[in-house]
Every structure is written in C-alpha cells, then in structure tokens.
C-alpha cells in the first residue's frame, strides 16, 4: 500500500482562492505519490458552530468544494470525521497520556486566553472543553490512520508536533504502538494576499470566494487595495498585492508581460483588475458548475462521504485494536 497522507478541513464556508492555492491544489496533487485521506472535520466544527442547519450546510459546502476542485473519491479516501466511530475512543485513550501543560501551550487556546485578557475578561471566558481539547482530537485524526505525512503550512507546525508528542507518550507508556507522522511543510508556498494586503483569511474579511456569483467576485477584485500611482507611472510588482494575486492565475508569459508594464509604466490598476476578474471566473468556471450541481444533490454527496468512511474505517480499526490491546481493554 502507498504511504498515507492525511488532510482535514474544518467546514467554515465557501473556500477562497487562498485556500485553493495554499491547501486544496497541493493536497490533491499528493494522490500521485500517496494514498490520500481527506476528511471534513465536522466534529471540530462543533466548537464554533452550534446551529444544526448551518453546520449541515457548511459540511456539504466543503465536501462539494473538494470534489468540484478536482478530488477524485475513487482515487482517494474522502469522508466525514464523524463517520468514524473509532475516533472518540482513540481520542480518549490519547487524552489519558496527554499532560494539561501541553494543552495549555496550544496556539488556539492561548490565543483565546490572550483575547480575553486584552478585553479584561476572565481568561477562560467563553472557552469550552472542545476548544481546549482540540489538539487531542486532532492527534486522533492523524494517528488513527497511521498517517505517514500531514501536509500543513508552517503556521500549523505545532499541530504535528503535538500529535508526535502524544504518540511518543503513548508508546513510552504502553510500548511501540503508534506511528509518528511527519509534517509535510510547503515552505515554497507563499501566503496568498487578501484584498487588503494581509494574508487572505475569512477572519479578516479579505477573501475572494471561489464559488460566489460573478458580481461578488468582480466586486471583491475591484476592492483589492493598490497605491495611488497613475497608469503612466512605473510600479513595483513585487510589492503589489494585485500583481501577486494575478500571477497565480496568469501564464508565465502573461505574468512577465504585465511585470514589464509595471516597471515601465503604462498599465492602470483598474484595467488589470478587470483582466484578473475575467481570469478568475474562467479558471474556476467548470469547478463552479460542478459545485452547484453537488449542492443541488446533497444526497449524492452524503453517499460519497459514507463510502469513503467505510474505506477509512478499514484502515482505522486495526490501529484501534492495537491501541486497545496495548492499554489492556481488548476483548
């Protein structure tokens, strides 16, 4: 069997072009070398999405997005996290060898505490145990399938480190049982800038959504922040977030042509924004149609995820059996 790569994504809504170039596209490409496991992290979403109907819609959106953007469920393992009943048991066994201090150092928890302190609230105000124990569940996601690699950005390196720490604790306590995963860090991938120049992120409200309607996409592109230079003035393409987004979609020849126009002058930002809008719409045209088709037939989506869960369980059950035997609760 091929080595296993594991990718999970929390259902948080319509993916944007930063998600595509930073995660979807490189993760899907891994199926050439690895047995790719891809899951919708719906259990993780319970920490922030208490509304049932909203969560169901978000789950279907992220599933439809993966398939529309090129994931082949016949050449991979694509499933819902909640479709694997072994996950909670695995997470509990891992929690029993995880120190509270390790959880205290987790980025998400520390960020929530810092936010409360800045607002002069109780440090743990609004923090539930789901958020606090988030890294243990994430470790279960990684370790239960014997994952060889987990592709993540450098800003998510801690997730892999915690999973490895927990696996080492388990192995030290019960004997070598769990495989230690390696992080696959895409150091050559730069963060895609948002329309305001910061990293593109839903939390900043600066995204260009892939599956939005044409008017929304054009409006977001026109909102890309640029300086006040006139079309005739030379510009620095390397320091311009409009150019940085444009080059993700343009051919190398067109990218170089536009770069020279920046340096020499003679190109207006408005003109380039119009071209970028047209290019983005054309680039994702087929994917947008597939996405809409999937969202019109969520029963078919659920069936694909259920078939994937069956394949994922075939991988997970032997690992859980080893864990149960190691701790002494096998039967």
Query: Which residues are annotated as catalytic?
Result: 115, 199, 202
Collapsing DSSP states into helix, strand and coil, what is residue 16?
A: strand
Collapsing DSSP states into helix, strand and coil, what is residue 105?
A: coil
Residue matched to tokens 């994702």: 284
Q: Which alpha helices (H) appear in the chain, and where do they start and end?
A: 17-19, 25-29, 42-45, 52-68, 86-95, 100-104, 107-118, 129-132, 134-143, 157-174, 214-222, 241-249, 252-264, 269-283, 285-296, 298-327
Closest to 173 (Cα-Cα) out of 331, 330, 328, 316? 328
**Tokens for 317?**
């059950």
Number of H helices, E strands in the chain: 16, 5
For residue 61, report the phi and psi dihedrals to the nearest 5 degrees.
-60, -50
Contact at 8 Å (CB) between 147 and 315? no
DSSP 8-state code for residue 24 = I
Sign of the alpha-carbon torsion through 173, 174, 176, 180: negative
DSSP 8-state code for residue 69 = T
CA distance 310 to 319: 15
Residue matched to tokens 């959880």: 103
């Amino acid at each position: 069997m091929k080595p296993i790569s594991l990718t999970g994504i929390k259902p948080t809504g319509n993916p944007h072009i930063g998600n595509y170039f930073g995660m979807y596209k490189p993760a899907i490409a891994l199926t050439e070398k690895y047995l790719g496991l891809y899951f919708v992290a719906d259990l993780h979403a319970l920490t922030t999405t208490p509304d049932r109907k909203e969560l169901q819609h978000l789950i279907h959106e992220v599933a439809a997005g993966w398939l529309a953007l090129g994931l082949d469920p016949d050449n991979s393992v694509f499933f819902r996290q909640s479709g694997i009943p072994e996950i909670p048991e695995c997470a509990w066994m891992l929690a029993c060898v995880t120190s509270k201090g390790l959880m205290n150092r987790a980025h998400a928890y520390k960020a929530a505490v810092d936010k409360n302190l800045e607002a002069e609230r109780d440090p743990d105000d609004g923090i539930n145990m789901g958020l606090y124990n988030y890294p243990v569940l994430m470790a279960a996601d990684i370790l239960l399938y014997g994952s060889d690699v987990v592709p993540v950005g450098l800003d998510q390196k801690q997730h892999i480190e915690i999973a490895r720490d927990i696996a080492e604790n388990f192995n030290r306590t019960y004997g070598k049982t769990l495989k230690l995963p390696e992080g696959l860090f895409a150091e050559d991938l730069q963060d895609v800038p948002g329309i305001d120049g910061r990293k593109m992120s839903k939390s900043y409200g600066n995204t260009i959504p892939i599956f939005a309607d044409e008017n929304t996409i054009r409006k977001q592109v026109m909102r890309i922040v640029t300086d006040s230079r006139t079309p005739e003035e030379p510009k620095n393409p390397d320091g311009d977030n409009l150019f940085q987004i444009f080059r993700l979609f343009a051919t190398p020849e067109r990218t170089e042509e536009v770069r020279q126009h920046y340096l020499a002058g003679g190109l207006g930002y408005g003109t380039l924004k119009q071209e970028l809008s047209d290019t983005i719409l054309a680039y994702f045209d087929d994917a947008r149609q597939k996405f809409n088709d999937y969202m019109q037939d969520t029963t078919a989506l659920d069936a694909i995820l259920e078939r994937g869960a069956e394949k994922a369980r075939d991988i997970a059950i032997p690992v859980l059996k080893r864990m149960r035997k190691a701790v002494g609760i096998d039967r």
